[in-house]
Structure 1
Amino acid sequence: MMKVHNRPQNRCFFLFFHRNGQNIGFAMPVIFSSEDGKCFIMEFCIYPEFRGNGTGKECARALLHWAREHGALYAELNYGGDERRCHFWESVGFVENGSDAWGEPLMILPPTEDVPITVEILSDPEDWQLMKLENGFKREIGENALTGEKQKQLQQAVKQGKITFFIARRGYRAVGMCSAAKCYSTFSCWDTAVFEDFYIEPVFRGKGIARKLAKAAQTWCAENGMSSLTVCCAPCDENMYQSLGFDVRLGTTFAHLE
């Protein structure tokens, strides 16, 4: 923790809350000024004897005010899946929003600035934000977070060109993704691709990101000689995928899993 506190950039601050001359709690925020102005709240604690009567909310608002004065544009934190912590942070404006690179659930105080969304091909297979998005995706569909071994396997597949990821970014922050995995089809006697890993962080949905991601993958496949890009989906998602250009029905998919 002291290394994070003492580093020259994106450092952790040790803050203490005082009331009537008494120290009643503390917080440890990190403002990532070199990235996108995120304030990540590493620790927040009100000492037990001072809790109640709105003290926690008052201190949280004081912390967020301090963060804005020091250049933060939005805030984020882990809540450990604890319902009480989740309800507390919801009371000051935070909402659940995916998971971090280790699979821990996140909450975010949504940014208010209008920042353009761009889509790019993932250039760094070891980008930690890919793992953050993957774990958010896994959590949403009820699967376990990627283990360290599976993360390495995924990174190796990207390096070998077995799978191509498309990342939607809001400035520095990766907020969405999809992928295209190439395979050979005897129906067309040509290369085809499978569309997967379609995920957008909840807070950033409804902004046209889904269409941008799907279009980027479809364009890339066409430019790289794929005869088709197919997607397997649940019945509840059929209308969404059809609206994104996957408008040819190819029957029902079955699988044998070991």
Structure 2
Amino acid sequence: MQGDIEVRECLEADERELFWQRLREYFRRDIFPGEEDCYHCSEKYKENIETLHERRFDPVRYLFFRRDGQDIGLALSVVYASEDGKQFILEFCVFPEFRGNGTGAACAGALLAWGRENGAKYAELNCSDDRRERFWSRFGFARNGIDAQGEPLMLLPPEEDAPVTVGLANGIEEFWALELSFFDEMGRKAPDSMGRSRMIGAMSAGRVAFITAKRLGRPVGLCSVSRCFSSLTCWDKGVLDDFYIEPAFRGRGVARLLVEKAAEYCRKQGIQSLAVTGSDADIELYRALGFKTRLGTDLAMLLPYES
């Protein structure tokens, strides 16, 4: 059935207006029913998307799915062909009167094929409910952390290998989504705005350094090294933390690259040891990464901040 679906881009002004009419109907009917002040139905949201649509490189595309001369659904998607080839699917909808009999799957397959034809190497989308997760998992998408706004992500991984580079992060924005994903996977509350500000301050003061691993410019892994004085050695030591790799890119040697860069950073800073705290389940992983010496068991006393 996928071969019967045509993906048609809205190029004319009247087509784009029709697209926005149908998109807003979708928001009000399926996503935000009963919400009178739906942001996605506002002019502000439209203006933001229009700006992305009009940009010179990697514009957002307004797409209709057509079958037998009828528009049966729509999608809002962008292919970052000038970067690492990611296709991001912002919105996807099959109109109610055409749902069923595999139409949704056919449209999704056609959308991914359209992405590949336009330079996509892999695909990503937000996924906040189980039904959507089940649908997209049929195409190879899997949960893959959260974005910088805290929304869950799914990724259809790239098929080909690509080099991964590691280095010190150039500011918190570079790794913030990875940091939020780390906290989410640990089951811990993410830093609030004050916590984020303190993190930036610690980076500026040289008390902590963040290291990122990038695949074709996309951050896929993270760790941090915090500096502190050890009375056991009467020298500074480093503490490895924030160790996180996107699930889709695990098992590809990224962990070792991060640890090697962290050790290199410590040597250049005159830090004579690098320590890590992990659960019992992680001990063998850290041993394999070079943490050979076991120094007892870490315990913590939590001291809530009192103003």
If the TM-score is normalised by the length of the shorter chain, which range does it land in?
Answer: over 0.9
Q: 1:214 and 1:184 mapped to 2: Cα distance?
A: 20
Equivalents in 1 of 2:205, 2:99: separation in Å? 54
The structure that is helix-richer by fraction is 2
Verify: 1:143 aligned to 2:188, yes or no.
Answer: yes
TM-score normalised by the chain length of structure 1? 0.95
Deviation at 1:147, TM superposition (A): 2.9
**CA distance in structure 1 between the partners assigned to 2:90 and 2:191 by the alignment:** 22
Aligned 1:216-227 pairs, distance under 5 A: 216-227=261-272
The residue aligned with 1:111 is 158
- 2: CA distance, partners of 1:70 / 1:227: 50
1:133 equivalent to 2:178? Answer: yes
1:180 corresponding residue in structure 2: 225
Secondary structure of 1:149 counterpart: helix
Q: Deviations over 1:4-32 (max 9, x none)?
A: 11111221100001122222110000112
Residue 52 of structure 1: SS of its match in structure 2?
Answer: coil
Q: Report whether the alignment pairs 1:2 with 2:50.
A: yes
Q: Write the distance in 2 (CA, Å) between the matches of 1:144 and 1:43.
A: 28
Q: 1:144-159 alignment to 2 at 5 Å?
A: 144-159=189-204
Change over 3 Å in CA distance of 1:152–1:30 after alignment to 2: farther
Amino acid of the structure 2 residue aligned with 1:151: R
Does residue 60 (structure 1) correspond to residue 60 (structure 2)? The answer is no
The 2-side partners of 1:187 and 1:96 are apart by 43
- Residue 76 (structure 1) aligned to one of 82, 99, 124: 124
Gaps of 5+ in 2: 1-48
1:188 Cα deviation (Å)?
1.2
Q: 1:207 aligns with which of 252, 263, 266?
A: 252
**Could you tell me how far 1:213 is from its partner in structure 2?**
0.8
Structure 1 segment 31-50 matched on structure 2, within 5 A: 31-50=79-98
- State the partner residue of 2:237: 192
Question: Contact between 1:103 and 1:146, CA under 8 Å: does it hold in 2?
Answer: no
Asked whether the 8 Å contact 2:81–2:118 carries over to 1, the reply is no
Aligned to 2:10: none
Distance 2:125 2:191 in 1: 20
Once the two structures are TM-superposed, the CA of residue 79 in structure 1 deviates from its matched residue by 0.8
The C-alpha deviation readout for 1:185-237, integer Å capped at 9, x for no partner, is: 11111111111011111111111111111111112212221121111111111
Considering only CA atoms, is the larger Rg found in Structure 1 or Structure 2?
2
Q: 1:146 to 1:47 in 2, by over 3 A?
A: farther
Give yes or no for contact 2:213–2:222 (8 Å, CA) kept in 1: yes
1:96 aligns with 2:143: yes
Q: TM-score under structure 2 normalisation? A: 0.80
- 3-state SS, counterpart of residue 119 of structure 1: strand
Gaps of 5+ in 1: none
Letter of the 1:143 partner, please give it. Answer: R
Q: Secondary structure at the match of 2:175?
A: helix
The structural deviation recorded for 1:242 is 1.0
Aligned equivalents of 1:148, 1:22: Cα separation in 2 = 48
2:287 paired residue number: 242
Aligned-residue sequence identity (percent) comes to: 48
**Within 1, Cα distance between the matches of 2:190 and 2:107?**
33
**CA shift at 1:43, angstroms?**
0.6
Assess if the C-alpha contact under 8 Å between 1:131 and 1:151 holds in 2: no
Cα distance in 1, alignment partners of residues 229 and 283 from structure 2: 25
Q: Distance in 1 between matches of 2:123 and 2:197?
A: 29
**Does structure 1 retain, via aligned residues, the 8 Å contact 2:239–2:276?**
yes
Q: C-alpha deviations, 1:15-55, integer Å up to 9, x for none?
A: 00112222211000011223211111111111122211111
